Amino acid sequence: MKALDWAIVVAYLAYVIWDGIRMTKHSSSKEGYFLANRSLPWWAVGLSVMATQLSAITLVGTTGQAYNDGMRFIQFYYGLPLAMIILCVTVVPFFSRAQVFTAYEYLEKRFDVRVRTLTSFFFLISRGLGVGTIISAPSIVLSIVFGWNLIATIFAIGLSTTIYTVFGGVQAVTWTDVKQMFIIFFGLAVVLVVIVASFPAGVTMMDGLTLAGSLGKLETVDTTFSLTEKYTLWSGLIGGLFLMLGYFGCDQSQVQRFLTAKSVDEGRTSLLMSAFLKIPMQFLILLIGVLVFVFYQFNAPPIVFNANEIAKAQGDARFQTIEQTYAAAHAERRDAAVLFSNEGDAHRQAYIEADKKFNESRKQAVAFVKETSNPSFNDVNYVFPTFVLQNMPMGVIGLLIAAIFAAAMSSIAAELNALATATTIDFYRRLYKPEATDTHYVAIGRITTFIWGIFACIVAIFASNLGSLIEVVNKFGSFFYGSLLGVFVLAFVVKRARARGAFFGLLFGIASVWVASWYTNIEFLWFNVIGCVVTVIAGYLISLTDRSDVNREEADAPSL
């Protein structure tokens, strides 16, 4: 990176930390620290909701996913608009009227403290794992840019974000999210323009998309119904619907966002904003990944995208032979791509065959790295940052690195704040010290934010080698979201549900997902359906064995 790039990144990081810390003046009470005094406008809440989702995983992992697999991942989000509409009609007004700090407080009123504590506990586990994965993405970028040890970079980015979250609370999280979203959108627009401008003379964006389409990279709808196929129309509409209902309706990191809104209507509007903007935004990010793939049809991509692994392997004669084969395969594919772009379908099949040969040569390089250096090697998360550093002009590199940090810090801060809220309100205040002052609870919230920051950094060390980070974080969530959703369905819909049924139903739901993950080939989006259905059925049947009077709080509950 040049001096200008360094200046942009350093100035951005310094501003974000300063801006977050100055929000301390708004967070002296627990209502202010955890819920921003329920005073935020819909557009700020909406941008914060989107920023919480738009982590560096999205910029780093999704672009790498699209480079390898094309646009198929967009199907993951097809259930989102319907989920948001359902939540706007049901959960948003209910939680807002209930004046709760966490989604799990209501479960104590409806069932008992055991159910509240268990659901909050599973949220803490799922989010703690998730935020660790989120920290991995910018840490990978730092390790490439600065040549630092990956573990050191994990703690650098994780703890720097923890600092302003500790002091500023949800006020700092939300308003920092708003500013970071503008940086992210601007950065994405710039990279899109620069990529297309880098295509060879005579090759248009449509030509590039034709190349990608001939290899199946533009597929956005797969109507195959299969529980073992990862991304299809049905896994998105059904599995994705259950995932989004669980995430936005039962996960404290999202519930806390709309609880900060000024009113029920503003909370609803904030979710609808995400419902209608998320898919286009995700489409744009995936498209950038596909265009990076097109760029590398004409420009030689690294044999593997992790520069450290290349450095380790280059002294080996076997790897040098693989490099020679790879260079020849790229030259053949490049020539075939130019012919196909300039002269049309007559050269389509030759281009497809050249791409297959190129992919085989790259697989040899990946296999070599796994055999000689890193058995768990997967470089999908290195594609976009490596592309940026090697091909973007001065100044743009700094902007895009800052955008990646912006995406990371917005999500990390939101997740840490939600983890601290649930820990403080659902455990510390409820079980240990129910009558303390606001100042005391704010202090505990800051301490727990710091502790969760350390925990997340430890998780990040292991998450960086688990594959595509965008898939990893959603897999972590899918182990829990469906079952948590099932508990709220029991609470809101099943009037016969009792505390015993909800408690053990949740345990059965979690167990069913783990069984499905270990002993079947069912893909992770369907875990959300399995967890929810098993929790509701088991909870209802177990409730039939309990003849105690049910708490009638459900009379005021929404209908899902």
Longest dimension (CA), the chain: 78
What gap in Å lies between CA 365 and CA 371, rounded to an integer?
Answer: 10
What gap in Å lies between CA 309 and CA 87, rounded to an integer?
Answer: 46
At 179-233, the pLDDT tens digits run: 777 777 888 888 888 888 888 877 888 888 888 888 889 988 889 888 888 888 9
Evaluate if residue 303 carries a pLDDT over 80. Answer: yes
DSSP, res 373 = T
Q: Hey, which of 187-201, 249-263, 284-298, 429-443 has the most confident mean pLDDT?
A: 284-298
What gap in Å lies between CA 467 and CA 64, rounded to an integer?
Answer: 11
H or E stretch covering 196: helix 150-197
Tokens of 543: 């409730």
Higher-scoring residue by pLDDT: 291, 184: 291
Q: What integer pLDDT is reported at residue 550 of this predicted model?
A: 52
- Overall average pLDDT of the 345-350 stretch: 87
Q: How confident is the model at residue 4 (pLDDT cuts 50, 70, 90)?
A: confident
Higher-scoring residue by pLDDT: 511, 473: 511
b (16+ CB within 10 A) / e for 510-540: bebbeebbeeeebbbbbbbbbbbbbbbebbb
Q: What integer pLDDT is reported at residue 102 of this predicted model?
A: 85
Q: How confident is the model at residue 553 (pLDDT cuts 50, 70, 90)?
A: very low
At 30-66, the pLDDT tens digits run: 667 666 677 788 778 887 777 766 666 677 778 888 8
Distances from the Cα of 432 to the Cα of 99, 105, 296, 436, 443, angstroms: 21, 15, 58, 10, 15
- pTM above the 0.85 mark? no
Helices then strands (H, E): number in the chain?
A: 25, 0
Q: 469 CB contacts (<8 Å, ≥6 apart)?
A: 57, 60, 61, 133, 136, 137, 381, 463
User: Among candidates 216, 218, 221, 217, which has minimal Cα distance to 231?
Assistant: 221
* Cβ–Cβ < 8 Å for 114, 503: yes
Q: What integer pLDDT is reported at residue 552 of this predicted model?
A: 47
- Overall average pLDDT of the 432-447 stretch: 86
Evaluate if residue 27 carries a pLDDT over 70. Answer: no
Cα 494 to chain center, whole Å? Answer: 32
Higher-scoring residue by pLDDT: 465, 448: 448
Q: How confident is the model at residue 29 (pLDDT cuts 50, 70, 90)?
A: low
Evaluate if residue 369 carries a pLDDT over 60. Answer: yes
Q: What integer pLDDT is reported at residue 34 of this predicted model?
A: 67
Q: How confident is the model at residue 131 (pLDDT cuts 50, 70, 90)?
A: confident
Distances from the Cα of 11 to the Cα of 158, 227, 342, angstroms: 18, 47, 45
* Cβ–Cβ < 8 Å for 319, 411: no
At 132-178, the pLDDT tens digits run: 878 887 787 677 766 777 888 888 788 888 887 787 666 667 777 77
The full DSSP string for 63-109 is HHHHHHHGGGGGGGGTTHHHHHHHHHHTHHHHHHHHT-SSTTHHHHH
At 495-527, the pLDDT tens digits run: 889 999 999 999 999 999 999 988 888 888 899
Average pLDDT, the chain: 83
- Overall average pLDDT of the 116-122 stretch: 92
* Cβ–Cβ < 8 Å for 117, 426: yes
Q: How confident is the model at residue 23 (pLDDT cuts 50, 70, 90)?
A: low
